[in-house]
Amino acid sequence: MKNTKFRLYIFKSNKHIYANLIDDRKKKIITSSSTISKDTKQESKSIKNCSTAKIVGKNIGIKIKKLGITEITFDRGKNIYHGQVKALAEGTREQGIIF
């Protein structure tokens, strides 16, 4: 099985939302962004809502683009594609990442 795409995994806790880019072949997290990241805290005042999730998506998209990756697999876990997960995905797509 030759899968060269990386996986963007979304995790939501009660207070925060996290986005991790994972290389499944090496079983390592390559880069991540969340509501507790410094770059997100500077842009947003609130903790967990759709606008903050979009900022997290934008930040992870910028980091992915800097690594030279354009196509990924979006893994939302058990979360439905609605609200914060959808906002995070839209923020990532606005940076030119395809999934």
Yes or no: say if 66 and 39 are a contact pair by the CB < 8 Å rule: no
Q: What is the pLDDT along the chain (99 residues), one digit of tens a residue?
A: 345 789 999 999 999 999 999 999 999 999 999 999 988 888 877 777 999 999 999 999 999 999 999 999 999 999 999 999 999 999 999 999 999
Number of domains, the chain: 1
User: What pTM was computed for the model?
Assistant: 0.91
Length of the chain counted residue by residue? 99
Kindly state whether residue 13 falls inside one of the protein's structural domains. Answer: yes
Kindly state whether residue 98 falls inside one of the protein's structural domains. Answer: no
Alpha helices in the chain (DSSP H): 38-43, 50-66, 84-93
Residue-range definition of the domain harbouring residue 63: 6-93
- Here the CATH number for the domain that contains residue 43 is 3.30.420.100
